[in-house]
Amino acid sequence: MEKEINALNNKQTWTEVPKKEVKDQKILSGKWVYRIKEDGTYKSRWVIRGFEQQLNPWDETRAAVVQGTTTRILLALAAKYDWDIEVVDVDNAFLNGIIPENREIYLHMPTGFSKPGMVCKLQKALYGLKEAALAWYITLRDALEELGLKASQHDECLFMNANPKEPLYVTVHVDDIKVCGPNAKAFKQQIQQKFPVKQHNLEHYLGLDIKRDRAQRTIHVSQASYTASIIKDFGHLAADSNVPLSRRIQDDNSKREPTPTEVHLYQQIVGKLMHLACKTRPDLFLAVVSASRHNLKPSPDAWRAIHEILGYISRTPTHGITIQGKDDDEIQLRQYSDASFATGTNGRSISGRITLLNGTPITWQSKQQTMVATSTCHSEYIAAYEATLQALPIQDQLQEILTPLSVSVPSPLLCVDNTAAITSANKGILTRQNRHFLTKYYWLHEQVDEGNITVKYVNTKEQLADSLTKPAIRSVLDTFCKDIQLRAIARS
């Protein structure tokens, strides 16, 4: 404890002030938290009881985390351009966050080190403080700006420079920092001069298992370790299944009420699977999203789906995305959109989309449409509209990232397998078949007309988003995984 107090004093975490000078301010309490580190040594930390804080509605308490799409984009570009990738883990990051001068926070002195009539006025953040994460982000942002980097307009946790000879890209996920660029190692040393850091490697970054082969220009991204933990905890519930979802989940119209324990277990499993599906497993996404619609009242058929998903990941525990870099100047952004007509709740259709950057999936989604489509063309058009809403900001973000390299990002290519929807998007002509479309959906035709996006017909067999709208048989699922470079990754 004495070592911790000395460290806090050396950082000038607080100043000691007489308690009688504190007026109309709540004095927070704290507690000692103890743990045994991996090397067997003891660690103590003085933590604020943040639940005692009374904040104004406009006070921000968020933690800054990089978007998953940004992470996958940078990994794809690092493979393409053969950039260095360095990872930095800041030690006791929150303790570096500076409290603004106009923010007065008082704390009782730590147990065992108190002084009569004295309290602490915080100058830097402590763990447990509600605004600690944001204070740390602001401190880090200021430090990165001093080093010549500027925050992206599309992701506040992406920082970059404008040097065409040595482009540099830094992403922030609370206290984990990833540096990409030709000279990433040198910049890592600059960060080490500003903050104390721990040794960290790319192989285990933000829960991802990453393996890189620079000679082959490949980066393999999976969650094999996380999948193994799911199987360890819930593998006894796994069914023998070679697909994540064999058929749609039927609504439960019975009066049966599941127990709170059953509901909690179901939600716990769905939450873990959702993290897996969102990060590295597009093949699971439809199944997990379908199961999540039954979180409040899991039916026997919903449990059947959970058993199948667990069985499928037990068969494919090391599956992940393989990013293949190519030594050329081509940047290709391709978006696939599809819809399954009237197969959702109350006659709604299911939209699916997946975005590929030079063949690497960087974002994917399966969702129920918010309005009832009246025809297959209508549902396909809505899906194409939603896909375009996603594709154009990604193009803008890519252009922002690649501007220092003088690389131009062409208009996204939207692949649709419905000719009537393509005609409506290209021509924007009112007919008896499409005149009932909401006015906002004509925005898609406007984007096509202005050349911001190109709509192309693809055969249903080549429609990658099809597996995000309806359950797929094994052969179709295998083709989907092959086309998006989703494969098993050998463990070291």
**What is the pLDDT at residue 191?**
92
Largest Cα–Cα distance of the chain, in whole Å? 83
Q: Are 414 and 335 in contact (CB under 8 A)?
A: yes
Give the pLDDT confidence of 448-469 residue by residue, as tens digits. 999 999 999 999 999 999 999 9
Task: Give dist(CA 183, CA 186) in Å, integer.
Answer: 6
Task: Please enumerate, as own/partner, the contacts of 112-117 that have beta carbons within 8 Å and a separation of 24 or more.
Answer: 112/1, 113/1, 113/5, 115/16, 117/18, 117/19, 117/20
Task: Give dist(CA 171, CA 190) in Å, integer.
Answer: 15
**What is the pLDDT at residue 462?**
94
Among candidates 167, 225, 220, 135, which has minimal Cα distance to 400? Answer: 167
Q: Are 421 and 385 in contact (CB under 8 A)?
A: no
pTM of the model: 0.90
241 token code pair: 């299944």
Q: Are 30 and 128 in contact (CB under 8 A)?
A: yes
Regions in the chain scoring below 50 on pLDDT: none
**What is the pLDDT at residue 434?**
55
Please give the CATH topology (third level) of the domain spanning 328-458: Nucleotidyltransferase; domain 5 (3.30.420)
First to last CA, the chain: 40
Task: Give dist(CA 288, CA 231) in Å, integer.
Answer: 16
**What is the pLDDT at residue 8?**
86
Domain locations along the chain: 2-206, 207-325+479-492, 328-458
**What is the pLDDT at residue 103?**
85
**What is the pLDDT at residue 56?**
72
CA angle centred on 206, ends 204 and 208, rounded to 5°: 55
- Within a 13 Å sphere around the CA of 390, how many CA atoms are in the beta-carbon half? 24
425 token code pair: 């998007």
If 0-12 CB within 10 Å is exposed, 13-18 middle and 19+ buried, where does residue 353 land? buried
**What is the pLDDT at residue 1?**
85
**What is the pLDDT at residue 332?**
93
